[in-house]
């Protein structure tokens, strides 16, 4: 400079130079200390510090965990640089970036003991006494308790304690039993939710241990682990960005900011537990787990509340409230009429004398009579309010959730059980749901040439090298080969695993060698919008740069102007040569499941990101499209076409669309919104991050439990544990069963209430007394609300349910058929019981007390038969399938059915259990049903019926000679 003064740039350079020198000195001192420690640890003079060959070498960590935790939480880049950056932290934690931790049990246990486990201290589930206290808050219960106290007090005063406690004490016992049953049911529901939350939070993650990529539970992650992250993953712990490309993180769960945060080595290497990967991929070094993370601090203060009211429960609450108002109105009328009759001298005592004679009547007698009248009015209220409805819903949902879990469906939200039964449309993803998502390269085309055998010999070396580069470097997958030389292990997405396996076995690719000979310059990660991923590399040998792309066929072909032949010749490409292809096969049973849904009146629509040709082929094979040459243009559309429709066009065409190809997340969301506006109850299945908006918008979101991302699972109501569309049809079946069982109990319960209400009202107004007392009706309700609800709530799904039309949004809870059954049964009971009330003494020549007992017993028997009538609301044969429900029939042995035969014999249906029969072995009968200890063989008409004796302890295998099979 002319002035001789240093410029701003000169000062910056000086500072950087000074900082680098200080950093180098610090590193030299650090390495010296580490070396001394290592030598001391190997010294024979200290035998206690000798280490086993496979034992961790970090029992004296060189980093303070508290400071490290705070550094990550506060994104303190300066402190991180002082520690030597991410590599310095990894070294201090005893982690090698290329191999990870050793992964031995002793080391993992030590790390968990030293740094903590990756679990959160959540408040424990509510105890039984909490629900007992909560039950006492019910208004009806309080009224009954007051009534019981009055009855007990006046009863003892009037009849002495020896006989006067009967009525009041009985009411107390009945109320306490109702409270106990209700509290126990709610407590079990709370426990069930607690167990389900543990299962839903048990996420699987990929980690690097001892050079091997392993999949472990999120709870098994320890400080020092290297975790692989990709789009859609939820970050399992706090950590530092080790390496990766184009990583963007959604930290809205932590910060509330919706903008994605770029994460890289230099400016922002900090990653927080609970955040989600929005784009890119990376490897993360775990620095804090469990309660030491920022997410852990938040989770510990959250108390999960499972007291949500489902839509059906809300409707039941409204129904109960309406009936309660009717009951209060009737009770007030009864109270007024009976008080007027008493104080006007129109009532008589047991001796036929007037009960009230003005001032001549004893005050105690007046009080006793008023209490009796009030008790009768309260009885009317008790009769009118169907307290058992919420309990029945709870029992039904709890039972159904448990059974659905066995059928590979984990319910995350209680409302989904019943809402699924109302579904009219299912919008399903293709990959992994309708298809297997298990890829294998079956055909390899190079240009226009099909390469079938000896690929590495037919293809020119220069082309083979390009293929090796494109497969090994443009991927997030990996190849692991153990030192023992066992079979190779491939990791990554199903597509990447298939391509890597093919390239290694068929093309002779050496992935590690390629990585050493090439430098990656830039990576474009795959997402649903770009539908392609790319990588630019520099070859170290000649310093040339190559760019490789892979992705959807039409996206890649659109970028190409020519293609290679196997000889290495380049030929130009025209539009006619831009062919389309497909790679995924339908799941076995997917077509059958689609047929079941369509037969049930539920429309199935496939929404996929694949090209339109693949979408048509898969939809046809699965039965979504008809198997013919002509497909209506309105049935299959692309996402861009659908989104460019006007609002009126979309609403007009949305019902006709069966397949939407090349759809974006916005297109899926738009489809769901349009269907809901049309009045449909929409279920959506999906597994990717791009499915999350549609899963949230839908009435029922169903995510895939194996291939599904954590973002998709969190956005869903039900998790399909086996990723199979057949399980979606099973969930639909269970949803209808839940709704139908609740309707059965409503019909049963309201019949009891209507009959008792009318009988007591007529008797009270006409005769001044009620034939059914509060104690009697409380005990009837107690039995009916528990055992009755249990019997009807545990009815299993039947084939008839899938033959009915879907309920939808507008169908009333109490249908016309239910009203018909309810009123007919109630009228029958009222006629019988009123006949006994007014003429029973003369008909049977019995006293008034005996006649009251006769009325009560007849009332109870009516409800027993009424429960059988409620099992089927439409068909006359109400006993069909009763032996399958042991809560009704008492017969509770399990019947296991399977199918064998000689291959040409059609499958039969076991008469002891309606179930699809599975072909097992080559036995000589179609169906074998286990009943008690005997094997009943219901054979085809061409075989004779045989009965075989089972062994005492059945074996778990298939034996051709013994001709039996045990599940």
User: Does 581 score more than 70 pLDDT?
Assistant: no
Which residues on adjacent β-strands are paired with residue 245?
Answer: 281
pLDDT at 15: 29
What digits encode the pLDDT tens for the residues 67-99? 888 898 888 899 898 888 999 999 889 899 888
pLDDT at 962: 26
- Band (887; pLDDT cuts 50, 70, 90): low
What is the average pLDDT across 408-422?
80
- Band (5; pLDDT cuts 50, 70, 90): very low
Separation of alpha carbons 73 and 488, rounded Å? 39
Residue 890 and residue 883 in contact, taking contact as beta carbons nearer than 8 Å: no
Residue 850 Cα distances to 107, 774, 841, 844, 853, angstroms: 80, 18, 8, 10, 5
Q: Strand order in 545-551's β-sheet?
A: 518-524, 532-539, 545-551
What digits encode the pLDDT tens for the residues 208-249? 998 888 888 888 999 999 999 988 788 889 999 999 888 888
User: Does 943 score more than 50 pLDDT?
Assistant: no
Which residues on adjacent β-strands are paired with residue 929?
Answer: 897, 936
Q: Which residue has the higher pLDDT, 668 or 41?
A: 668
Model pTM greater than 0.75? no
- Band (939; pLDDT cuts 50, 70, 90): very low
Which residues on adjacent β-strands are paired with residue 122?
Answer: none
- Band (123; pLDDT cuts 50, 70, 90): low
Phi-psi group of 408: left, alpha or beta (phi > 0 → left; psi -120 to 50 → alpha; rest → beta): left
Pair of tokens at residue 304: 């999960």
User: Does 286 score more than 90 pLDDT?
Assistant: yes
What digits encode the pLDDT tens for the residues 152-200? 877 787 678 888 787 778 778 877 877 887 788 778 767 766 776 666 6
Chain Cα centroid distance, residue 830 = 46
What is the average pLDDT across 459-486?
81
pLDDT at 431: 64
Separation of alpha carbons 136 and 697, rounded Å? 38
What digits encode the pLDDT tens for the residues 768-789? 777 887 678 777 777 776 677 7
User: Does 550 score more than 70 pLDDT?
Assistant: yes
Is residue 429 annotated as part of the catalytic site, yes or no? yes
Q: Which residue among 233, 238, 279, 429 is the active-site one?
A: 429
Residue 224 and residue 239 in contact, taking contact as beta carbons nearer than 8 Å: no
Chain Cα centroid distance, residue 899 = 31
Bridge-based pairing state of the strands 518-524 and 532-539: antiparallel
Give the CA diameter of the chain: 133
Query: Which range has highest mean pLDDT (243-252, 429-438, 885-894)?
Result: 243-252
Using the CB atoms, write b or e for 783-795: b if 16+ within 10 Å.
ebbbebbbbbbbb
- Band (311; pLDDT cuts 50, 70, 90): low
pLDDT at 240: 94
Strands (E), 790-932: 897-898, 927-931
User: Does 951 score more than 50 pLDDT?
Assistant: no
Residue 89 and residue 287 in contact, taking contact as beta carbons nearer than 8 Å: yes
Q: Helix 388-406 vs helix 311-343: angle between axes, to the nearest 10 degrees? A: 160
User: Does 927 score more than 60 pLDDT?
Assistant: no
User: Does 202 score more than 50 pLDDT?
Assistant: yes
- Band (658; pLDDT cuts 50, 70, 90): very high
pLDDT at 24: 55
- Band (306; pLDDT cuts 50, 70, 90): very low
Separation of alpha carbons 611 and 638, rounded Å? 8
Pair of tokens at residue 348: 């008589």
pLDDT at 691: 80
User: Does 624 score more than 50 pLDDT?
Assistant: yes
pLDDT at 452: 76
Query: Which range has highest mean pLDDT (335-349, 363-377, 665-679, 871-885)?
Result: 665-679
Average pLDDT value over all residues in the chain: 75
User: Does 864 score more than 80 pLDDT?
Assistant: yes
Query: Which range has highest mean pLDDT (233-237, 671-675, 763-767, 946-950)?
Result: 671-675
Pair of tokens at residue 569: 């010749």
Which residues on adjacent β-strands are paired with residue 480?
Answer: 489
As a whole number of Å, the end-to-end CA separation of the chain is 90
């Amino acid at each position: 400079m002319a002035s001789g003064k240093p410029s701003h740039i000169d000062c910056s350079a000086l500072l950087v130079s000074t900082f680098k020198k200080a950093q180098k000195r610090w590193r030299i001192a650090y390495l010296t200390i580490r070396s001394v420690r290592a030598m001391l640890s190997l010294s024979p003079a200290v035998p206690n510090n000798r280490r086993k060959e496979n034992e961790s070498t970090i029992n004296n960590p060189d980093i303070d965990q508290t400071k490290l935790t705070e550094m990550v939480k506060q994104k303190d880049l300066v402190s991180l640089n002082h520690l030597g950056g991410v590599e310095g932290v990894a070294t201090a934690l005893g982690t090698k970036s290329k191999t990870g931790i050793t992964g031995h049990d002793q080391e993992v246990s030590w790390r968990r003991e030293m740094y903590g486990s990756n679990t959160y201290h959540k408040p424990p589930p509510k105890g039984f006494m909490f629900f007992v206290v909560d039950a006492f808050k019910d208004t009806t219960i309080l009224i009954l308790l007051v009534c019981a106290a009055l009855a007990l007090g006046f009863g003892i005063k009037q009849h002495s304690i020896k006989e006067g406690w009967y009525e009041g004490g009985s009411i107390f016992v009945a109320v306490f039993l109702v409270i106990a049953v209700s509290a126990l049911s709610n407590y079990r529901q709370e426990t069930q939710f607690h167990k389900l939350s543990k299962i839903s939070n048990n996420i699987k993650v990929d980690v690097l241990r001892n050079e091997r990529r392993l999949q472990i539970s999120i709870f098994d992650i320890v400080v020092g682990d290297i975790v692989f992250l990709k789009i859609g993953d939820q970050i399992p712990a706090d950590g530092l960005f080790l390496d990766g490309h184009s990583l963007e993180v959604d930290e809205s769960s932590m910060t509330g900011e919706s903008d994605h945060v770029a994460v890289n080595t230099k400016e922002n290497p900090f990653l927080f537990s609970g955040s989600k990967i929005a784009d890119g991929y990376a490897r993360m070094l775990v620095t804090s787990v469990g309660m030491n993370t920022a997410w852990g601090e938040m989770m510990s203060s959250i108390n999960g509340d499972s007291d949500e009211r489902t839509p059906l429960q809300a409707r039941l609450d409204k129904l109960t409230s309406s009936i309660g108002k009717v009951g209060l109105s009737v009770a007030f009328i009864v109270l007024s009429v009976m008080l007027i009759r008493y104080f006007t001298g129109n009532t008589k005592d047991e001796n036929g004398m007037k009960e009230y004679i003005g001032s001549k009547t004893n005050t105690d007698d007046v009080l006793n009579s008023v209490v009796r009248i009030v008790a009768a009015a309260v009885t009317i209220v008790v009769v009118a309010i169907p307290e058992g409805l919420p309990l029945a819903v709870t029992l039904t949902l709890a039972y159904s959730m448990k059974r659905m879990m066995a059928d590979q469906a984990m319910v995350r939200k209680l409302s989904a059980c019943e809402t699924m039964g109302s579904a009219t449309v299912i919008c399903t993803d293709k990959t992994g749901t309708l298809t297997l998502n298990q890829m294998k390269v079956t055909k390899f085309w190079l240009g226009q040439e099909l390469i079938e055998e000896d690929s590495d010999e037919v293809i020119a070396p220069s082309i083979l090298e390009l293929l090796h580069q494109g497969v090994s470097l443009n991927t997030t997958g990996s190849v692991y080969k153990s030192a023992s030389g066992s079979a190779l292990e491939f990791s990554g997405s199903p597509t990447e695993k298939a391509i890597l396996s093919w390239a290694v076995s068929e093309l002779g690719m050496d992935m590690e060698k390629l990585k050493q000979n090439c430098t990656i310059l830039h990576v474009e990660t795959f997402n649903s919008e770009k539908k392609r991923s790319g990588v630019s590399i520099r070859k170290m040998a000649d310093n040339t740069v190559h760019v490789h792309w892979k992705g959807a066929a039409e996206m890649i072909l659109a970028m190409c102007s020519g293609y290679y032949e196997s000889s290495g010749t380049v030929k130009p490409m025209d539009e006619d040569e831009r062919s389309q292809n497909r790679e995924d096969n339908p799941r076995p049973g997917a077509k059958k499941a689609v047929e079941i849904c369509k037969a049930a009146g539920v429309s199935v629509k496939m929404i996929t990101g694949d090209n339109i040709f693949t979408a048509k082929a898969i939809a046809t094979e699965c039965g979504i499209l008809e198997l013919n040459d002509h497909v209506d243009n309105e049935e299959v559309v692309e996402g861009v076409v659908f989104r460019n429709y006007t609002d009126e066009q979309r609403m007009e065409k949305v019902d006709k669309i069966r397949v939407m190809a090349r759809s974006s997340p916005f297109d899926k969301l738009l489809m769901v919104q349009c269907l809901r506006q049309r009045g449909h109850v929409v279920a959506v299945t999906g597994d990717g991050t791009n499915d999350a908006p549609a899963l949230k918008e839908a009435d029922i979101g169903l995510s895939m439990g194996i291939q599904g991302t954590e973002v998709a699972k969190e956005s869903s109501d039900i998790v399909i544990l086996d990723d199979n569309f057949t399980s979606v049809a099973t969930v639909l079946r269970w949803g209808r069963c839940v709704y139908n069982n609740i309707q059965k109990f409503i019909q049963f319960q309201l019949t009891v209430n209507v009959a008792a209400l009318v009988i007591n009202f007529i008797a009270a107004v006409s005769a001044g007394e009620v034939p059914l007392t509060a104690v009697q009706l409380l005990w009837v309700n107690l039995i009916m609300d528990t055992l009755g609800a249990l019997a009807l709530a545990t009815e299993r799904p039947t084939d008839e349910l899938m033959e009915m039309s879907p309920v939808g949004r507008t169908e009333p809870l109490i249908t016309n058929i239910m009203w018909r059954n309810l009123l007919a049964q109630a009228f029958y009971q009222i006629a019988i019981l009123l006949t006994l009330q007014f003429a029973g003494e003369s008909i049977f020549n019995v006293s008034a007390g005996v006649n009251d007992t006769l009325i009560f017993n007849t009332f109870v028997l009516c409800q027993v038969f009424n429960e059988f009538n409620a099992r089927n609301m439409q068909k006359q044969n109400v006993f069909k399938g009763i032996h399958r429900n042991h809560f009704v029939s008492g017969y509770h042995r399990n019947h296991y059915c399977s199918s064998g035969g000689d291959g040409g014999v059609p499958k039969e249906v076991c008469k002891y259990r309606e179930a699809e029969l599975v072909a097992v072995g080559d036995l000589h009968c179609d169906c074998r049903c286990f009943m008690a200890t005997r094997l009943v063989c219901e054979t085809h008409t061409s075989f004779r019926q045989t009965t075989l004796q089972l062994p005492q302890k059945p074996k778990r295998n298939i034996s051709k000679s013994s001709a039996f099979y045990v599940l």
